[in-house]
């Protein structure tokens, strides 16, 4: 299927729509209007209609969006209709929390490997994974892993990222509070909790 160029801001919101439609499915809802959906998500109905229209006009006036097929369609667009394996780098407190974060499975993500450089952590078990030695990170090349999650100190991040770039990694969720230099073939999403919190006092 061919789609027109979709803005990054719309792509950012698609997982939120997917989660909403998945939840509606478990509630046995057949359809939902853009205004009902807007109320659930704290958004405006026109924004939702515009976002979803990028993927074809699959809502019907007076009826709304069919829940099951819209969920499937969004999942397909986001390539979340297949299991996506991810490697977690960093088995500290934050890494351990991430490894057991229940939300990943609902989007079809599988934390398939965990690496660290701390000898006291290597060999220990976190969830289903045994923590591996970061020196052996290049083994992920043959393990069909194309996503990485970084939960390591900022000053250790860039060398790790350089290694990941050689290992067929195409997307990085970066929780190390720093900007990463990556080749154009790699997409990075950085989350810095302090920066997120940092916007709030302005509005108080």
Q: Which residues of the shown chain bind its own copies in the complex (CB under 8 A)?
A: 11-12, 14-16, 18-19, 40-42, 77-80, 84, 86, 92-94, 96-98, 100-101, 103-104, 106-107, 109, 146-147, 149, 170-173, 177, 179, 181, 187, 189, 191-204
Rounded to a whole number of angstroms, the minimum distance from the CB of residue 142 to its own copies is: 18
Q: How far is the CB of 62 from its own copies (least distance, A)?
A: 25
Q: What does the block give as tokens for 147?
A: 């996503």
Q: Which is nearer to its own copies, 9 or 119 (CB)?
A: 9
DSSP state string for 134-189: GGGGGGGGGTT--EEEE-S-HHHHHHHHHHHHTTT--EEEE-SSS-----TT-EEE
CB of 43 to its own copies, least distance (A): 9
Closer to its own copies by Cβ: residue 33 or 75: 75
Based on CB atoms, which residue is closest to its own copies, 39 or 138? 39
Which of the 8 DSSP states describes residue 78? T
39-46 long-range contacts, Cβ below 8 Å, gap at least 24? 41/16, 41/17
Q: Which two tokens stand for residue 105?
A: 């499975």
Min dist CB 169 to its own copies, Å, is 10
Angle, vertex CA 121, rays to CA 100 and CA 148, nearest 5: 50
100 vs 166, beta carbon nearer its own copies: 100
Q: Which is nearer to its own copies, 41 or 156 (CB)?
A: 41
179 vs 61, 62, 64, 82, 98, CA distance in Å? 44, 46, 41, 30, 20
CB of 27 to its own copies, least distance (A): 14
């Amino acid at each position: 299927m061919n789609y027109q160029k979709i803005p990054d801001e719309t792509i950012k919101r698609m997982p939120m729509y997917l989660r909403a439609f998945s939840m509606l499915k478990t509630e046995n809802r057949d359809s939902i209007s853009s205004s009902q959906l807007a109320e659930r998500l704290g958004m405006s109905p026109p924004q939702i209609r515009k976002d979803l229209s990028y993927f074809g006009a699959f809502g019907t006036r007076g009826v709304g969006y069919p829940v099951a097929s819209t969920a499937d369609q969004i999942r397909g667009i986001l390539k979340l209709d297949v299991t996506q394996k991810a490697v977690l780098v960093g088995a500290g407190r934050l890494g351990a929390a991430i490894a057991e974060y229940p939300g990943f499975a609902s989007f079809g993500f599988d934390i398939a490997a965990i690496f660290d450089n701390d000898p006291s952590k290597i060999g220990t078990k976190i969830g289903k994974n045994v923590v591996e030695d970061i020196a052996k990170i290049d083994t992920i090349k043959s393990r069909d892993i194309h996503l990485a999650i970084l939960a390591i100190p900022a000053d250790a991040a860039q060398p790790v990222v350089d290694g990941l770039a050689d290992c067929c990694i195409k997307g990085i969720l970066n929780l190390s509070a720093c900007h990463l230099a990556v080749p154009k073939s790699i997409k990075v999403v950085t989350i810095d909790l302090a920066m997120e919190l940092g916007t709030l006092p302005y509005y108080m």
